[in-house]
Amino acid sequence: MAIQWFPGHMHSTRKAIGERIKDIDVVIELLDARLPGSSANPLLAELTGHRPTLKVLNKQDVADAARTPAWLDWYNARPDTRAIGLDASDTAPARRLIDACRQLAPQRGGMAKPMRVLICGIPNVGKSTLINTLTGKTQAKTGDEAGITKLEQRIVLDDDFYLWDTPGMLWPRITIPESGYKLAASGAVGRNAYDEEEVALALLAYLQRHYAPLLDARYRLGLDAAGIAALHDDELLTLIARKRGAVMSGGRVNLQKAAELVMTDFRSAILGRITLETPPEFEAWSAAAQVQ
Ligand code: G4P
């Protein structure tokens, strides 16, 4: 799928990270717990000079609770990496972040050697929400726009623990097509950068195979899992359009409207708790992309 996002985000943010990174002990990468592989920046290690990294699987309240532990294990098996799950309802995120970062850089601490942490992540992953919770106030969003990239906002989480925010950042080229669909479905990519019907079809193709009962419950399809899995993805979208009244005059279905409905239902978790990839699936997609 051709997703055209504005690479300026990346260039200006890369510059901003480059200016700060020499004084950083730990990098926090906020990931979307519904796409823990696809929402990770493949260039992060290079951008941050291979600093110890805390992967925070955010929005775990809307991810599949049966899948999140496997993703945490997957990341925790890496050297210099810790992974935790988080969501907006967490009442003590600061404590959990501080503890996890201290494990990654035990040599830092005390006023003489304060812990210096950089937080980054793709757009819409919940970074502003988390920072507002941490600071206890609504801060201006660190601009996702090219040009608004100064990392001047230092957040003091503890006497000897400082955090710097960065703008939401994607990377210039999607090498894993499945990741492109998932990033678009999650809302990380601006609406003008992709075709909604195409993304909704890809989303449905995955949900058919892995979350058919949730589709049946939401859209009252009247089919069992095998019946839903047997539908061609555009047949499924057509059926959803009819069930949800996305029909134009003359009885023709409005597939664009149905696609928007499906995406909204996924993003708002009305469909239920869903994770769009497992570690083995993501590894297989990554391997296939490298061969090409
Ligand atoms: P960003 O700065 O990384 O771009 O993301 P932001 O905090 O603006 O959050 C993007 C959307 O994700 C917001 O929803 C926010 O409420 C939601 N969100 C953030 N953290 C969590 C979480 O842990 N769990 C869930 N379920 N949602 C989370 P929105 O609908 O775009 O805005 P709003 O109507 O909530 O303000």
**Rounded average pLDDT over 29-33:** 98
Q: What is the pLDDT of residues 169-221, one digit of tens each?
A: 888 888 899 999 999 999 998 888 889 999 999 999 999 999 999 999 999 99
Residue 213 confidence (pLDDT): 97
291: CA distance to ligand 1 center in Å? 36
Which residue's structure tokens are 């230092």? Answer: 154
Residue 147 confidence (pLDDT): 38
Compute the distance between CA of residue 223 and CA of residue 101 in angstroms, rounded to an integer: 48
Compute the distance between CA of residue 238 and CA of residue 240 in angstroms, rounded to an integer: 5
Residue 154 confidence (pLDDT): 83
Pick the residue with more confidence: 144 or 134?
Answer: 134
Residue 160 confidence (pLDDT): 94
Q: What is the pLDDT of residues 256-268, one digit of tens each?
A: 999 999 999 999 9
Ligand 1 near 88 CB (within 6 A) = yes
125: CA distance to ligand 1 center in Å? 7
Bridge partners for 55 per DSSP? 29, 83
> 145 pLDDT exceeds 50?
no
Residue 139 confidence (pLDDT): 64
Ligand 1 near 190 CB (within 6 A) = no
Q: What is the pLDDT of residues 176-187, one digit of tens each?
A: 999 999 999 999
Residue (of 245, 202, 240) closest to 222 by Cα position: 240
Sequence-separated (6 or more) residues with CB below 8 Å from residue 81: 52, 53, 54, 55, 75
174: CA distance to ligand 1 center in Å? 23
pLDDT classification of 150: cutoffs 50, 70, 90 = very low
ipTM tops the 0.90 cut:
yes
Ligand 1 near 125 CB (within 6 A) = yes
Q: Cα-flanking dihedrals φ and ψ of residue 24, to 5°?
A: -110, 135
Ligand 1 near 132 CB (within 6 A) = no
